[in-house]
Amino acid sequence: MHPVMRALIVALAFAASSGCAATMYREHTTPFPPSTPRAVPWTLNRELLTPASERILFVVELVAGHAPERDALDRLARLAARYGERPATWTAGALPATLDPGTTYVHIRYVGNQLDKWGLSYWRLVAGRKVYVIEINQERHRRWKWFLPERHLEAQTLIHEYGHHLGLPPWDHGYYRDYPDFSDGAHCVNPDCALSKPRARALLYGFWHVAIARHYLEDYCAQCRAAIAEAKAYWQKSARRYRSS
């Protein structure tokens, strides 16, 4: 290892261990767009977080670049099944011409190096159905594989983008990096969250936890998970009210 690199690691490890709590590296919240719901279930996605369909299917398309890391896709599918309370799997290929009515589709496009960022999430209508899309720049990830195994790099981006689809984070612990520009989407203030943005604070935290303690950012933070639990309880209660009326 290069001596400068080694010195940097020691300095960062010292800084990180002298106050290991994630709260030290939190970003500050910023205002959200005025139309953002301020109460439970906030902007959380009921379709992805409750068993609204029989299954979640990730359709993985290789548009450009090298093949996806299968382990990263397995991790995403496991996470989606856990939060979505139903089976979730992935399959390679293009989106089918006819969509199955019992399936929620997430289309993952591996685009090589076509984006100026790690990943991107958006949705589009296909035959009147909402299809969630994740784009991932896997060639950019490969450049960092000296730092983290590629399968973890790709898993972190997939789970980050999936977090945007889940509608995380609520306004009380989120921020817009380019506020008052809202185009980049909301990110989580907690550096131990897959939905954190890799800025200086998160990187400093991540350097210790990810590179040394091997704690990967492959799940959402306690605050995001608590919000998901609250939203689920809210939806269950409103479903019971609906059934009994």
Closer residue to Zn ion, CB minimum distance, 108 or 221 = 221
Question: To the nearest whole angstrom, how small is the minimum distance from the Cβ of residue 27 to Zn ion?
Answer: 11
Contact 161, 168 (CB under 8 A): no
- Which is nearest to 40 in space by CA: 240, 241, 205, 238? 238
Is residue 36 left, alpha or beta, with left meaning phi > 0 and alpha meaning psi from -120 to 50?
A: beta
Please pick, from the candidates 48, 49, 193, 202, the single residue that binds Zn ion as defined by CB under 5 A. Answer: 193
Helix (H) or strand (E) holding 131: strand 129-136
133 is a contact residue toward Zn ion (CB under 5 A): no
Residues 198-227 that bind Zn ion (CB under 5 A): 220-221, 224
188 is a contact residue toward Zn ion (CB under 5 A): yes
Stretch that binds Zn ion, among 13-21, 39-47, 63-71, 190-198 (CB under 5 A): 190-198
Closer residue to Zn ion, CB minimum distance, 215 or 240 = 215
Closer residue to Zn ion, CB minimum distance, 56 or 186 = 186
- Which is nearest to 157 in space by CA: 171, 139, 169, 172? 139
Closer residue to Zn ion, CB minimum distance, 1 or 192 = 192
Question: To the nearest whole angstrom, how small is the minimum distance from the Cβ of residue 55 to Zn ion?
Answer: 26
User: DSSP string spanning 172-186?
Assistant: GGEE-TTTT--TT--
Closer residue to Zn ion, CB minimum distance, 99 or 185 = 185
Q: CA end-to-end span of the chain, whole Å?
A: 67
201 phi/psi in degrees, rounded to 5? -65, -45
Question: To the nearest whole angstrom, how small is the minimum distance from the Cβ of residue 202 to Zn ion?
Answer: 11
Chain positions contacting Zn ion, by CB under 5 A: 169, 188, 190, 193, 195, 220-221, 224
